Chains A and B, each alone.
Chain A
Amino acid sequence: MRPDLINASRPLMLELEHIARRLRASTVKVQRRRSGGGAGVIWRSDGLIVTNAHVAPGAQATVRLADGSMLTGTVTARDYAHDLAALWVEAHDLPAAAVGDSDALLVGQLVLALGNPRRAVGALRIGIVHSFGRATGSGRRWVEADIDLPPGYSGGPLGDAAGRVVGINSMAARDGRGFAVPSKTVETFLGGLPRQAMGSNRTGPTRLRRITSS
């Protein structure tokens, strides 16, 4: 290997490794009883998980944390139009994701996706922002990424080059574009939920409850 290749790329590789590790820590696996599942993002350390509506269609789902522990997630809100769902697990001090501003993204910027394809948990993919879909009156409808997302990435994070979550991966187009719900849309979704759905009336200590061993 030529020395200048190693020198130029080493800081990039180290940063990518660091960012991937942080994103993985705040990415969960969301499983349904019958089949499949996808991923989710720890949005708040007190137990709020965000995923796709289509990943968590029932009242509950099993949530597997990065450290392997399994929790029961209760769905408190769902928005099929934007493919979002809010899940609560009984936990505290979870490693919440750093959230970025999806409105500040530019076409061409690097994006990273984490998901759970067959036999892997927290698998990384890299690409760039392809476009933002048709402009609407109320801001960007999607973040469309030039990134290959096989099944298992739905509900998981789309991160920017600083490792901040700027989208929730939702689906892949036939031509290979990955579509993510912008983080701005997630915040609007969470902000519009009634207080009960946000779990603010929960009291008392919460404990991690293992329902299966990892």
Chain B
Amino acid sequence: MQVPASKRPSSLTALSDELAEAVRQAGRSVVTVHCHEGLAASGVHWRRGVIVTADHVLDRDAAIRVELPDGSTVRATLAGRDQRVDLAVLQIRAVGLPTAQFGDAASLRVGHMVLAVGRHSERGLSASWGVVSAFGRGHATVAQGSRSIYLDLTIYPGFSGGPLVADGGRIVGINTLAARGAAHSIPNAVVEDVVGDLLQKEYAWRR
């Protein structure tokens, strides 16, 4: 027996719908990255034709494929890898794929609600929910130069390389796993530096 929604405005339903909308918005620029058999990760369309993903999911330089939200697959070339920060930059021909809408990672505080979004071949867009747990090196805010955002949420298999999403569905970082499997995110500004660096050099592989 179906029961229609109450007409009374509901804060919990509003929050619920906002979370779903944030996932949908951010998800428009989230792709699946296939490197070799059985292992897939997520990636973000950072600039036109440029995909950012996690470095640790790439095992070989050859045959990287990127699966787009519409289900089509394109070949990707590896522009560079930065193992130290765990990021890799790929290039694709990105017809019609929206680029990421960025938020201000510097405005994040411990306790702020965030989402981690991933895209999986079979499951499609998926999400997990939690709060900002801490910033790297004991800094209270990202503005003070932290290079890591620690998260109280689950980074599911396939979520590495996907976005950290804050209010309005805006992307504030790239998620990966830190030491001992801790969920953490690399703030936008750090990702931007790495992308710029790796695209400038012909090929870079920094340890």
Contacts and interface: CB of A to CB of B under 8 A. Distances in A.
Interface string B62-104: 0000000000000000000000000000000000000000000
Contacts of A161: 10, 12-13, 15-17
Given A98-B3, A109-B17, A146 B127 contact: yes
A192 B19 CA distance: 35
A190 B3 CA distance: 17
Interface stretch (A8-16, A34-42, A72-80): A8-16
Interface stretch (B34-42, B118-126, B184-192): B118-126
The interface residues of chain B, by DSSP majority, are classed as: mixed
Interface string A135-179: 100000000101000000000000011101000000000011100
B6 interface: yes
B128 A130 contact: yes
Contacts of A128: 19, 115, 127-129
B128 A146 contact: yes
Contacts of B16: 108-110, 160-161
Interface of A is mostly: loop
Interface stretch (B20-28, B46-54, B132-140, B198-206): B20-28
A200 to B, nearest CB: 15
Interface stretch (A99-107, A113-121, A206-214): A99-107
B122 A134 contact: yes
A131 B124 contact: yes
B22 A130 contact: no
Contacts, number: 98
Interface residues of A, number: 32
A42 B23 CA distance: 33
A19 interface: yes
Nearest to B154: A176
A129 interface: yes
Given A100-B3, A130-B156, A107 B127 contact: yes
B152 to A, nearest CB: 12
A1 to B, nearest CB: 12
A194 B105 CA distance: 58
Nearest to A165: B3
Interface string B106-126: 000000000100001011111
B23 A108 contact: yes
Interface of A: 11-12, 15-16, 19, 98-101, 106-110, 127-135, 144, 146, 160-162, 164, 175-177
12 contacts: A12-B15, A16-B12, A19-B12, A106-B17, A107-B20, A108-B22, A108-B127, A109-B16, A109-B17, A127-B129, A162-B13, A175-B157
Given A15-B11, A15-B12, A146-B154, 14 more contacts: A11-B11, A99-B2, A100-B3, A107-B125, A109-B20, A110-B19, A128-B128, A129-B20, A130-B126, A130-B127, A131-B126, A135-B124, A144-B123, A161-B15
Considering the complex of A and B, which 8 residue pairs feature the smallest CB-CB distances, nearest first?
A: A161-B16, A108-B23, A131-B126, A108-B20, A106-B20, A110-B16, A131-B123, A146-B128
